[in-house]
Amino acid sequence: MTARRTSFIAILLLAVITPCHAEDGYRLWLRFDKVGDEHIRVAYLRQASRATVDGDSPVLNTVAKELTAGLTGLLGQPVPLVAEAGVAPGLIAGVWGASALVARYVSQADVQGLQPEGFLITQKEGQLIITALDERGVLYGAFFLLRHMQLLEPVEGIHILQNPKVKLRVLNHWDNLDRTVERGYAGFSIWNWHELPEYLDVRYTDYARANASIGINGAVVTNVNANALVFRHDYLEKAAALAGVFRPYGIKLYLTARFSAPIELGGLDTADPLDPRVQQWWKKKAEEVYRLIPDFGGFLVKANSEGQPGPQDYGRSHADGANMLADALAPFGGIVMWRAFIYSHEAPGDRAKQAYDEFVPLDGQFRANVLIQAKNGPIDFQPREPIHPLFGAMKKAPLMMEFQITKEYLGQGTHLVGLASLYEEVLQADTYARGKGSIVAKVADGTLYGQALTGMAGVANIGTARNWTGNLFGQADWYAFGRLAWDPYLSADIIFREWAEMAFTHAPAALDAIVWMLSGSYETCVRYMTPLGLHHIMAAGHHYGPGPWVDNMSRADWNSTYYHRADEQGLGFNRSESGSGALLQYAPGFRQQYADMDKCPEQYLLWFHHVPWNHRMHSGRTLWEELCWQYHQGASEVTALREKWRSVKAYIDEERYEQVNMHLAIQEKEARWWRDACLAYFKEFSRMEIPPGLEKPKHSLEYYESLEFPYAPGIRPRW
């Protein structure tokens, strides 16, 4: 290694390890502070007091930078980057088969089982080795080793081989070119399109670091409600500048494709996917994109949904539209992620059925480089939904999971809700598509039907907030998505503990408290918002706060009353065979779990059944009594969250402690608002009193209905 490169890396080290701000959350989980346990620190020094990265490329230079900076911080002394290894025990990183240094220690047998982007960390002849079949794998191995040390795990005798179980691990940004963010609760978009391509904010690099550290390998930087302008040449140059920042961190850039772009940019009179002129326009556009961005990932498409243009405008199918774009990208290795979040202009009998009805008949008609991207549930990121019926039903086209990291329906930017619990619940749910054990995780990783092209997408929750996510605990959701996209079989509690330990403290009492908060917070939120299978009862437009009374929207399925169907007889949407029949879209083994009102798991009872108010629940309470109990229990659990957070004050720096404390105060107030507003409304139908011992709503139903929030964040722009 040249002296010039060594000096350059030393400067980078200073930039990485020298804090410029107070402990405000900017560093996320990448806090490589000195290991406090001297015994462990000395043990690490024996293994990694020097480092060698064999190779010179953008990604391997990133490996060198991240390893030396991270180790220097953790070990509390400079860790030099040396050109040769073997003089003294140290760390060696390089691509197997391309690194002569790695080849001295690692044999073909050692790397047996390695797959693209996977890595091996092992110890041979006193040397600590990170190797992989490609550069990305080396990068992921480097970040894994740093995390291993952050968690104070032993390094001596280490031998870990890991492969990602999902191929495409992608963040979807609902960011507009004017820097507004649809359903964003952490400020404006971090992408400053006006200043690109000349001005590259350091935040872009820090964003890439954070994603690479948890194995995310793709970013869709524009909103699914797409703007064709992004395909204009000057905007493609801006996108190319972002791709250049991402590339050293192994991240591919993707763009959302507006289906009508050939009309809006190309001057054509149609966007019919079977029109040769349209096909040629997209082929030429793909060539232009790849000239500027050789490693461009591909397109994410929202079509014929919520007013977005699509192939159905011309009497064509989703397969026709997706295949036309896939053919344009195929020569360059690009892929199409075609969203299954669709619903027609006609009022449906049951919106939950539409995606299945439109996509299952097309299974087998999509090109090999097309993935169907489906939300975790059949409606729209509700606090709790049953799994989407497409999971397990699509046997040929690969199905890509779409989770929401931003909390559109889960308290938006203020509520603490550990989404790893939601993700785990969905991924472990059984589709019964090929008998018992056909869990959603096997759909996500392709093992259920032997699919090689797999993916998982997460709708990003970051913005210009100094701590990235607004609510500090929102960082745990970003982290959890990355970890589960890498391995969808991980436990939520393991993820919570990893994040808490890296973001806050190693103190056992504080860790236990923070993990307890995260672990129970999802169920708490469901209880005070939409217990027992209720869904889509938020206020209209901004989706902030309760609105079970909403019934004046232009579409039937935009109204809350469409979903809860409260009347004097009972509550809930009958989706059984005697109702809309949506339950019939699932495999027989799944249907058997939910078909009988008396046996249906109560967390989905009102999703699948219209239940009498006096129906006896498992607790012995009537439906009305249980509904009241759930709402009150949820609100009281938020109070318990606040109390638990107070118990860790001595372990947390003041600034971050106060950030969380203030947001918990908002959550406590809003949990009671949800409780009181919903019970005041449903009481009008049950004609029953709040059970003794439970607090009655503080205000009248008319008061709750009168509340307005014209400037609530995350409102969809009117194009």
Residues catalogued as catalytic = 306, 380, 408
Nearest-CA neighbor of 631 among 570, 690, 674, 667?
A: 674
CA distance 643 to 633: 15
Tell me the CA distances in angstroms from 277 to 240, 267, 367, one per residue in order: 26, 11, 20
What value, to the nearest 5°, has the Cα angle with vertex 472 and ends 470 and 476? Answer: 115
Give one DSSP letter per residue of 171-201, joined into a string: EEP-B-TTS-BTT--SSS-S--TTTTTT---
Is the alpha carbon torsion for 262, 265, 270, 271 positive or negative? positive
Helices 233-246 and 276-292, axial angle in degrees (round to 10): 50
Nearest-CA neighbor of 367 among 400, 313, 329?
A: 329
CA distance 572 to 141: 49
Distance spanning both ends of the chain, measured CA to CA: 54
Neighbour tally for 712: CB within 10 Å:
15
Exposed / middle / buried, residue 384 (Cβ in 10 Å: 0-12, 13-18, 19+)? buried
Q: Which residues of 621-638 are buried (b: 16+ CB within 10 A; e: fewer)?
A: bbbbbbbbbbbbbbbbbb
Q: Are the CB atoms for 159 and 148 separated by under 8 Å?
A: no
Neighbour tally for 506: CB within 10 Å:
16
List of E strands, 322-454? 335-339, 370-375, 399-404
Tell me the CA distances in angstroms from 21 to 17, 26, 75, 586, one per residue in order: 12, 9, 22, 52
